[in-house]
Amino acid sequence: MSFYLGRRGWKIVGKSMKISQIIYWIFLGLLILTFPIAEMAQDWLSQTPELWLTIAGWYTMIAVVYLCLLLIIIDSLRLLDSRIRIVPKVIRDHDQTPKVVASLILMLVTIILIYGSWNARHPVITRYELVVDKEAGSLDQLRIAMVSDIHYGAIIDAPRLTRMLEAINKLQPDVIVMSGDIVDGTVDHEDAQKLVGVLKQMHAKYGIFVVPGNHDRWIRSDADLVHEFQEAGVEVLRDRQLKVGDSFYIIGRDDPGYRRDQGRKDLEELMQGIDAELPVILLDHQPIDIEAAEENRVDLQLSGHTHKGQIFPSHLITSHLYAIDWGLLTKGSYHLIVSSGYGTWGPPLRIGTSPEIVEVSIKFTK
């Protein structure tokens, strides 16, 4: 990819002035080398310089990908034009056309990266209305606020958590659920306290429920933080279930990535002791095992993990890996909602998908 990009660029500047060639090689070097240098420098740079260098590396990596994709499109058009003349002769034969096209490509990639940065910081509220044909005690309806894939850490920091908190509280939910990847790996004590402080300010009639994702290493390594979650009124569900308000059940599954040596509990085992005549809500970070959920009379599964690809065209991969990588899937009485997530992993960009907070309104008909 780097060779292709460098070769195509040199065809444009190869006959230019010496200063243009020098600028070109410096620019190409920064594009190609920033990411691997950032990866190698993690062990010897302090935290702040390392973070900014890593972010720069992510941006240049995505820039290289988009530059190559656009050049492939341009070269495909050139190949087609060599067989079927579709480009006007005045454009095709003009000596400035390659430089103009290259400038337009650079401008477009810059605009895409700027938009992706802005989009990643402006989550939307995605709303779903469902009907569950079960009794739920005295409840006629239930409003759930769901957030997944926050990836709290150096990039998704406390101020962004505060904005998330304000948006969720404004929904006035009955239940708040977090479907995994709350933290981007591990956090130090100070950042952990900021996270707990935000969670304490969330308000929901029936509580806040959390399941681990593949990035939530703190859940198995930091028992004190798990305890602080519990003290803040947050139920951490790892392969266990709770009956809420004598009206419905919430089951939280462990992420399979954590128990590869043991295996997480089967859903059938977790359903033991549950009265399936009441509504059953399943929290599972990854949108998998949906056949088991359907067979065990789960009414609603809430998942994340996919980010809906996060950066176009990655959604072409996630859409093939899962039955659904975003949105609502209904099979009979079973409903699966997959969120694109609130935060970002890796590049702090969202291109072709938006960060979101999900609001689910359920009506019970019996």
- Span 329-361, pLDDT tens digits: 999 999 999 999 999 999 999 999 999 999 999
Q: What is the pLDDT at residue 220?
A: 64
Question: Is residue 221 scored above 70 in pLDDT?
Answer: no
- Closest by CA position to 25, among listed 35, 12, 36: 12
What SS3 state is found at 125? strand
Q: How far apart are CA 142 and CA 339, in angstroms?
A: 19
Query: What average pLDDT score do residues 122-129 get?
Result: 98
Which residues partner with 183 through β-bridges?
Answer: 152
E strand map for 214-355: 234-236, 240-244, 248-252, 280-283, 300-303, 327-331, 334-338
Residue with tokens 């390594």: 221
* Residue 283 DSSP symbol: E
Average pLDDT, the chain: 91
HEC readout, 334-360: EEEEECCCCCCCCCCCCECCCCEEEEE
Give 34-58 pLDDT, tens digit per residue: 989 988 887 788 878 888 999 999 9
Contact residues for 166 (Cβ-Cβ < 8 A; gap 6+) = none
Amino acid at 149: D
The Cβ of residue 18 has, within 10 Å, a number of other Cβ atoms equal to 7
The helix or strand, by DSSP H or E, that contains position 179, with its residue range, turns out to be strand 175-179
Dist CA 213 CA 58 (whole Å): 23
Residue 260 token pair: 């590869």
